[in-house]
Amino acid sequence: MNFSRRPKNIVSLTLLTVFAALMFGCNQSHPQSTFEALGPVAQSQLNLFWIIFAAGALVFVLVEGLMIYAIIKFRRRSDDEMPHQTHGNNTLEITWTVIPAALLILVSIPTIITIFDNTNSPRTPAEGGLVVDAIGHQWWFEFRYPHPVNPDEEIVFANELHIPTGEPINIRLESVDVIHSFWVPKIGGKVDMVPGNGNDMWLQADTPGYLYAQCAEFCGVAHALMRFRVIAEPREDFDAWLLAQAEPAKESADPLIAAGKQIFQQSGCTGCHATDPSSSGRIGPNLTHVASRSTLAGGVFENRDEFDKVNPSLVQANLREWLEDPLNAKPGNIMGMQAAVYTDTNKALSEPDISALVAYLSSLK
Ligand code: CUA
């Protein structure tokens, strides 16, 4: 396509780009739109955005307006005329140095206030605020909560951050491998998860909701598939959820489930995946209650049906698709690349093995 010969193409391409930006980026109903702030952190960031946008728009209109004025006013009016040449104007030069400087100072005040507000939690852990550890892994998120009963233990969960509404949540960010970034567009972020150098942030959701979130720092081949969900719920529901997570994995006498558990233990799965609620520091997500989560494989598969409920048959179908070909669902993932059952054809899982594993894993609610 030769754009220089087809100005119409440029116009339609520009219009299409603007339309797409409005449809996806700036549409409030989009699940990851920052234009719908559902908590104080996101709201202060959105307010700051509008202040900077307004300042930028003012500068744009002023500069472009003066430029158009000058182009028209001082244009060459005939072929034999040389337009009036001006060299230096102290008043003008001082004016256009002072105005931007003043504008920058004006913008810096709300910026600095917002940075401090977003950094300093209104209820720190020392003041009794809830604290959650969020750990970035290639390519999934681990969350660790204080144990509701036993203060020496933690509850380890993956890819779903449950938070009580209406209170500040302190989040300690870490990474086990490369730099990731923690971002929940509608309630706040992005803050980097840096290996060996923890970051702190706080978030708050004012209303219950199911929020989309993702890694916002390029971290390798499956970066775009490193997602998580935030479930904001009333305090009672959150407390009940955390108590349920503290329970050990469900046991079952069903022969297929028992067979699946045996395959899980004998095929090397336990080397990376824990199945007790307090075990962390492994390579893969803790699977104690994997079948209760709204997504699978770091937000790649949706386990919820059209009624927004985790649907057991969807969980089973997703587990099967994931176990049959993890590299197809999430290119580059460590399980597909390194687990013996995927790299050594002698140890590959058979169809009956996968059926038993699906039965076992989908019983872990
Ligand atoms: Cu983790 Cu991008």
- The domain ranges of the chain are 125-246, 255-361
Residue 4: pLDDT over 60: no
**Rounded Cα–Cα distance for residues 263 and 358 (Å):** 11
Pairing of strands 140-146, 130-137: antiparallel
In the prediction, which pLDDT does 81 show? Answer: 83
Q: Is the CB of 141 under 6 A from ligand 1?
A: no
Homologous superfamily of 255-361: Cupredoxins -  blue copper proteins (2.60.40.420)
Which atom of ligand 1 has the smallest separation from the CA of 138?
1
Mean pLDDT of 202-216: 95
Q: How far is the CA of 45 from the centre of ligand 1 (A)?
A: 22
On the question of pLDDT at 268 being above 60, the answer is: yes
Through-space distance between the first and last CA atoms of the chain, rounded to whole angstroms: 55
pLDDT at 26: 66
The burial of 102, by beta-carbon neighbours within 10 Å (0-12 exposed, 13-18 middle, 19 or more buried), is given as exposed
Residue 328 has pLDDT above 80, yes or no: yes
Count of beta carbons in the 10 Å neighbourhood of residue 333:
25
- Model confidence at 53, pLDDT cuts 50, 70, 90, reads very high
Q: What is the mean pLDDT of residues 229-245?
A: 95
Q: Give the per-residue pLDDT at 281.
A: 59
Helix (H, G, I), strand (E, B) or coil at 332: coil
CATH architecture of the domain with range 125-246: Sandwich (2.60)
Structure tokens at 77: 């009016």
Is residue 186 reached through a cis peptide bond, with omega within 30 degrees of 0 on the bond before it? no
Task: Quick: pLDDT tens for 286-315.
Answer: 999 999 999 999 889 999 998 889 999 999
Integer Cα distance of 160 and 133 in angstroms: 12
Look-up: residue for tokens 């770091």?
Answer: 298
Evaluate whether 173 touches 203 at the Cβ level (below 8 Å). Answer: no
The predicted model gives 56-76 an average pLDDT of: 92
Quote helix, strand, coil % in the chain, to nearest 5.
45, 20, 35
Give residue 135 CA to ligand 1 midpoint distance, Å: 11
Q: State the Cα–Cα distance between residues 195 and 173, nearest whole angstrom.
A: 9
Q: Where does the pLDDT of residue 51 fall: very low under 50, low under 70, confident under 90, or very high at 90 and above?
A: very high
Strand order through the sheet with 130-137 = 154-158, 140-146, 130-137, 169-175, 199-203
Cα dist. 73→58, 59, 294 in Å? Answer: 22, 21, 64
Cβ of 218 less than 6 Å from ligand 1: yes
Q: Is there an atom of ligand 1 within 6 Å of 219 CB?
A: yes
**CA distance to 120, 155, 190, 299, per residue, from 200 (Å):** 9, 19, 11, 24
Atom of ligand 1 nearest to the CA of 179: 1
pLDDT tens digits for range 164-208:
999 999 999 999 999 999 999 999 879 999 999 999 999 999 999
Q: Are 125-246 and 255-361 equal in CATH topology?
A: yes
- Considering the chain, what percentage of its residues have pLDDT values greater than 90? 68
Cα 326 to ligand 1 centre (Å)? 18
pLDDT band per the 50, 70, 90 thresholds, residue 34: confident
- Identify the bridge partners of residue 163 per DSSP, sorted by sequence position: 232
Q: Is the pLDDT of residue 114 over 60?
A: yes
pLDDT greater than 60 at residue 87:
yes
Tell whether the model's pLDDT for residue 2 goes beyond 60.
no
Report the predicted TM-score, pTM, of the whole model to 2 decimal places. Answer: 0.85
pLDDT value, residue 82 = 83
The pLDDT score that the predictor gives to residue 121 is 93
| Contact by Cβ (8 Å): 58, 135 | no
Q: Which residue has the tokens 């176990």?
A: 323
CA 49 to centroid of ligand 1, rounded, Å: 24
Report the SS3 class of residue 97. Answer: helix
CA 18 to CA 8: how far, in whole Å? 15
pLDDT at residue 6 in the model: 65
pLDDT at 176: 94
Q: What pLDDT, on a 0 to 100 scale, did the predictor assign at position 159?
A: 94
Overall size of the chain counted in residues: 365
